[in-house]
Chains A and B, each alone.
Chain A
Amino acid sequence: MTGQREWPLWEVFIRSRRGLSHQHVGSLHAPDAEMALRNARDVYTRRSEGVSIWVVPAAEVVATSPDEKDSFFDPAADKAYRHPTFYDVPAEVRHL
């Protein structure tokens, strides 16, 4: 029975106002992209929380694995020189 089968899951991203990027707000089930957008409007923007909505099939999201979290992000951990605070600058220098 078609009605019994669960609709695919969509991840919902909303731009809350112009000038800001879309942000993940949650997910919902819908039979197709158009219904996903309409449902997202009703579920996530009832109080004008958005000016633009993206819906993405959850199955299409490729993510890093939490298991390799440490090794995957390790290369950035020992490169403090990538931050401006790493450098010694004489106190009298301005606008640097």
Chain B
Amino acid sequence: MTQDLARFARFQALVDGDERIEPRDEMPEAYRKTLIRQIAQHAHSEIIGMQPEGNWISRAPSLRRKAILMAKVQDEAGHGLYLYSAAETLGVDRSELLDLLHAGRQKYSSIFNYPTLTWADMGAIGWLVDGAAIVNQVPITRCSYGPYARAMVRICKEESFHQRQGFEILHTLSRGTLEQHAMAQDAVDRWWWPSLMMFGPPDDQSPNTAQSMAWRIKRFSNDELRQKFVDMSVPQAEVLGLSLPDPDLRLDEETGRYDFGAIDWSEFFAVLQGNGPCNAARMEHRRAAHEDGAWVREAATAYAEKAHARAPAAGAA
């Protein structure tokens, strides 16, 4: 331990000085492992997150909505790639991480294990799920690990379009026919609580938070971020003309913050353990997409090898 302290004195000094750690710097193995796990989980969430929305591309109500939804899903693929690249700077291969995901040995955000039943779900996901993701991710733009922080800057810039397009969908539906308003309300009712769970277990049940904060991977605790999200969302719900499904939600006049009801953590842990409505379907689809795409990867590799084999002749010319 003392030996480690001396060895990682420079690392700790950089972290404490709020400087960034870069790929080839010496770093404690536990720091590296924590980052790989977190960045991989984040990357997996991006690419699994393409599924619930991909489900609605062919049924978007207008060409405008369809083009927007495709751009959003494409962004998510891009975000996955930024994050896999960041993880790879820590000495793992993307293929390795995908294998771990497919084998069920690495996780993705539980939120994507809920189904998207109506078009209004595209609105609720954009507004609430992407909104919660932004609250979670903005502090990571100042994470101590440089490549992760830089990937997050790009992602956060792009996510704000995601949130706004979701808000716009709900706003339009809410002011539409009675049926459309009801559809928007139903979507918000179903996505509100799972969105609050996205911030992770309460602080007193989050054993890794202290270490992640000391390493400046994390800047705020789960409960702090959750509270921030609630405080932002309540006034926005009022503008939407939609209610939030929490009878205990009320403004604390003194703090200016909103008190909210108890979260059903048994649901969170059940979904985490694989018993959500869509866990099996999401994984099955992901594995199938990977296997069905194998021929494309093989063809591209074969083409590159063939071109390479011919290259000397071409190069001599």
Interface of A toward B, CB cutoff 8 Å: 1-7, 9, 26-29, 31-32, 35, 42-43, 46-47, 63, 65-67
CB distance B301 to A5 under 8 Å? Answer: yes
CB distance A2 to B298 under 8 Å? Answer: yes
Contact with A along B295-313 (1 / 0, CB 8 A): 1011011111101100000
Contact of A66 among B22, B78, B93 (CB under 8 A): B22
Contact of A3 among B26, B71, B301 (CB under 8 A): B301
Q: Is B19 an interface residue (CB 8 A)?
A: no
Q: Is B225 an interface residue (CB 8 A)?
A: no
Question: Which residue of chain B has its CB nearest to the CB of A1?
Answer: B298
Chain B contacts of A28 at CB under 8 A?
81, 85
Band of interface residues on B = 20 to 34
Q: Is B236 an interface residue (CB 8 A)?
A: no
Contact of A26 among B75, B151, B158, B297 (CB under 8 A): B151
Q: How far, in whole Å, are A47 and B160 apart by their CA atoms in the complex?
A: 13
Q: How far, in whole Å, are A31 and B151 apart by their CA atoms in the complex?
A: 23
Contact with A along B67-93 (1 / 0, CB 8 A): 000010011001001100110110001
Q: Is the interface of A mostly helix, strand, loop or mixed?
A: mixed
CB distance B82 to A43 under 8 Å? Answer: yes
26 A-B residue pairs with CB within 8 Å? A2-B297, A2-B298, A2-B305, A3-B297, A4-B95, A6-B93, A6-B95, A7-B297, A7-B300, A7-B301, A27-B85, A28-B81, A28-B85, A32-B303, A32-B308, A35-B300, A42-B74, A42-B78, A43-B81, A43-B82, A46-B74, A46-B75, A46-B78, A63-B24, A66-B22, A66-B26
Q: How far, in whole Å, are A28 and B85 apart by their CA atoms in the complex?
A: 6
Total number of residue pairs linking A and B with CB closer than 8 Å: 60
Question: Which residue of chain A has its CB nearest to the CB of B22?
Answer: A66
Q: How far, in whole Å, are A3 and B151 apart by their CA atoms in the complex?
A: 27
Question: Which residue of chain A has its CB nearest to the CB of B308?
Answer: A32
CB distance B294 to A29 under 8 Å? Answer: no
CB distance A27 to B78 under 8 Å? Answer: no
The 7 A-B residue pairs with the shortest CB-CB distance in the complex, in nearest-first order: A31-B304, A32-B304, A3-B298, A31-B300, A3-B297, A3-B294, A2-B301
Chain A contacts of B294 at CB under 8 A?
3
Q: How far, in whole Å, are A20 and B217 apart by their CA atoms in the complex?
A: 32
Q: How far, in whole Å, are A7 and B86 apart by their CA atoms in the complex?
A: 16
User: Would you give the shortest CB distance from A71 to chain B, in whole angstroms?
Assistant: 14
Question: Which residue of chain A has its CB nearest to the CB of B71?
Answer: A46
Q: Is B94 an interface residue (CB 8 A)?
A: yes
User: Would you give the shortest CB distance from B98 to chain A, in whole angstroms?
Assistant: 10
Chain B contacts of A65 at CB under 8 A?
24
